[in-house]
Structures are given as structure tokens and as C-alpha cells.
Structure 1
């Protein structure tokens, strides 16, 4: 993740005398580290975890440390959050006997070493520590782990969702949306018809939007080899490592997962026919969340020793999560230069 303020200057809008960033066409970058600190202070200070259950009393005292980077980029109205945070919380607890007498008071910390936009869909690692490692201290730590972890993860998810909506920029973005809306046309005896037309119009726009922003890559390549040999190269992780010089994990089963180019591309096998067909789901780590593409490779052998591969790569987004519009161009170049040409060079399948 690029640090705040160190993005590509071609994409960061320079200060204009009138302060304008028309249509948010360029990056409008906002530092969110203090906003993030305030968020965790607000949601994880003096929070009760246990209040007498099992004669245990535990609460999260405060945020002790928040380090790292956090920012929100807005370009063409698209919100792109970025953050890598290291968070430490302090907690305290008491164990009491059946009559309410205090058996032990303990203090400890909760470490969340890596909250990142790259892992927004996953729960971060959480470590619970206690200063007193005796039997009662251990019992308090385990209770904090069991009950406090759920509560903390809930607040972390709240932070992730807030950043996805713009963080400190949310109110400003919502205000712009409201300002940009056109009012409804009100006419006597015709209000119902106008509203219906507006609904239909909105639905049509939504459908059109769903179709925009994606491209299909098609290529046809000829190799001097048998179809089954080329199929095996593309489905064998050791051979893949050999011609790409990168790590790979490739299942040979339908439904099995794949990870290639050192994990920058992940997916799974959708359909496999040995020597004839490979259909896979592909996703690049730099793509916006929730976007997957489909790769379809068909192998034809018009004569022994000559194989024609037809590639159809659909649903390739035009922009990555950072707003760069070279995704299709880079993907097509990758197929040509890093896969097909490399296979010819390494295995001598050129024509």
C-alpha cells in the first residue's frame, strides 16, 4: 500500500486557486489517521466485556496505540480507502469469590498488529496478553479472549465499513449527492405517471451501469506441440513456475483453487477437459473487491503436432481499485508476453 501523500503525482490533483476538483476526476486524497484514532477511541474506551458472569469483571480501558497509515482517495466519485494499522488496547479485570471478595486484579493488552484494506473481508489477527500469568490471571485472559474478541472484531468491522463509505469524507460526499439530484416534476393529475417514469428510468440506468466498465479479451495462438502437452503445462504448477519464474499452486480438479504469479492472481477451476478445455475464475489482487473474471481456453489440434489455443477472458474491469485504467491493456499483454511467448521460449513450441 502506498503511503499517504506518496501516490503517483499524475493521479493526485494539484491545488487550484479556486480549490476545485471538477467531478472528482483526479485523486482527492484525505489523511484519515486522526479520524481513525478517534474512531477507535470512541468505540473501544471503557467498554464492558464481562459484568459478573462467572464472578469475572472485565472491561476494555482505552486505546493505547494506533500506528500506521490511513487515507481515503476519491476519483470520479469512487471511494477508494487505504489503511494499514497497528492497534493496541488496554484492558483490566477482576476475579471475585462467591461473596464478592476480590481474588485478583489483573491488567493486560490486546494487540491487533495488522488491520489492512487488503484484508478487508477477513478478520484480523488478535492477541490477548495479561501481566499476571498465574491460574486466575490465565482465566481472566481466556475470558477476555472468548468474550472480548467478538466485541473487538465487531468494532473493527465497523471501522472497515466506515472507511469503505468515505471515512471523514462521508458527509461531504453525501451532501454532493443530494445537491446533484434533480427534483421531481409535479403536475396536477400527472404525479403518479411521472413517478413511474422516473422509476423505469432509474432501473434502465442501473442495468446499463451493470454492463459498463468491463471488457473481453480474445486471442488466438498457434503452437508446434500436441494439445495435451500444452494443456498439461498450463495445469502443472511446477511447469508454470518454470516458464513464469514465479510461485504457483494449481489444482487439477474441478472446483479446486489456483494461485499464480506469486499470488497476485487467484481463482478456481470451473470446467476441465484434458487436452481440450480449461475454464477458470480469475481475480487479480489489485481489482476492486467482489470482481471476478472468467478465463476460457479451448485447444484444437488440426493436425498432429500443431495446436491452436483460443482465449476468451471475460469480465475484465477497465479500472483497478486505485482508479488506474490500464487493467485490460496489462492483462492482454500479460497473456501474450508472460504466458504464451514464455511457453514458446522455454519449451520450444514456437511456430
Structure 2
């Protein structure tokens, strides 16, 4: 009603204050808006944000982990990322991170903000924080906005991996760089870690040129490229389905024959008779481009030919 008065649809003198209406609240309830956050810290490690990202259905990455946990210092905005294979590794990584940063900075972690995930809310984690004097701040259920610093960082990390060009000096006449994907920084080494798809491995190297405007190809890029031909493939899917069924029947027959063949003894096996025959036998490589007449003439020269007696 107040909004209608402000808009001029209702005269102010006709407006009366309405009593609290329970039916209106039940029928028109909605979520409260989030005001702009006002949080001030005075030093490093006074307030730390943390969150876990991933799920059991997440495809394995190149090293195998399905999760990662982040620790973000509110004062310096520095981010630490640890990759995990299971959720129960969060506690051990937190202790590892806490010991490292407190040794380097000579300061103590004072407050930790997380969600209500069981990887953070368990007796082992709670007892450790209570013993270390770390205050815990948690979010309300299904309210990720209250841990917005970590949630926004998760979205940033998922877009990580720009194209990188690694300098190589293998051949003087060949290319001087190879294309890869920037995946991070190595521990204890002054360089960059770059995934080289052609080699199927990561390189730790210093001489790298980055193209930050282009993201590197994902492992599924090739499959996405083939999906563009889905229209052509779908038209022949009905015809190929019957072929696949026939192939499956043939394979099952072969498996049955191989199982029965395993029961035969070696005494009944004859190499000349039972060995697998070669197909598409070609003449020697130097005669591939010639005809069989030239091949025969070259062979006949090496034979001893008897002259006729009469």
C-alpha cells in the first residue's frame, strides 16, 4: 500500500495502516535480499574464508582428484588451493596449510568462515579449532551468499587455464615453441607448470608466453568437435544399430569358440594348419610400385636356367 501511495495511485488521506496479516505472509513469503557486505579486518590471518568444490560425479582430472579446497585470507586476498581425491582430506589439508602460513607469517589464524558441509562440521575439526583458539563462522543452510568470497573464487578457478606457448630448442629448423595449457605453479621451483597435450605430460619451465584472452582446450574439446556432426550421425544411427547387434552376436560366438578352444590340448594343435592366416600379403617394398612382370623378370635372373639340348 505504501508503494501505491508513493506512485500516486492512492490518495494519502485514504490510506490507512493495515494490521499484521498472517495469511499474506504465508501466501506471499519470499527470500530476504542481501545487503552489501561490510566486513573489515586489520591484519593477515584474522579472518579466513574456505570452501570445498567438487562431487563424486566430477570427471577425473589429469592427476585423479575430484575436489579442491580453497583458503582465502580476507586482509591480503591471497588464495591457497589444494586438490583432493576425497572429502575427508579437508582436515589434513587445513592443518598442513595452517602450519605453513603461521610459520611464514609468525601470526595465528583467528577466525574461519565455512559452510555447513560435513567436511568442515565434524567433531575432529571442531575439537582442533577449539584447541587452537580459532573462532568458527558458519553460513545458514542453502545460503551460499553468506560465503560469497569463496563461492566467487570457485567460479574464477573453474575458468583457469589460458593458452601458453612453451619455448623449445630441439631442432633449429623446426618450430621454436609448442602450444599448451597453463595449469599452475610448481612448489619450490621458479617456473610455470604447462600441460602439453601432444606429449601427454606437464612441463615445468620458465620460458613461457601467455595468451590470457584465450582459454586452453579442455579434454572434451575433441568430443565436442565431433558432436557438431550429430545431424549426419543421427540419420544413420538407425541403420548402424542393426550392424552393432550383428557384430555383438559375432563377438559372442567368437568368445564361445575361444572358450571351447582353450580346452583342447597342445597335442592336437598343428602350426601349419591352425595358425592365423595373414591377409593382404604384399611383395617386397622395392617392388610395390612395379608390376608383377618386372618382379618375375628380376627373380628369374637369379635362377639357373638350363639351355635346351637340341
When normalised by structure 1's length, the TM-score is 0.18
**Greater Rg by CA:** 2
Q: Please identify which structure carries the higher strand content.
A: 1
When normalised by structure 2's length, the TM-score is 0.20
Q: Which one has more relative contact order, counting CA pairs under 8 Å at least 6 apart?
A: 1
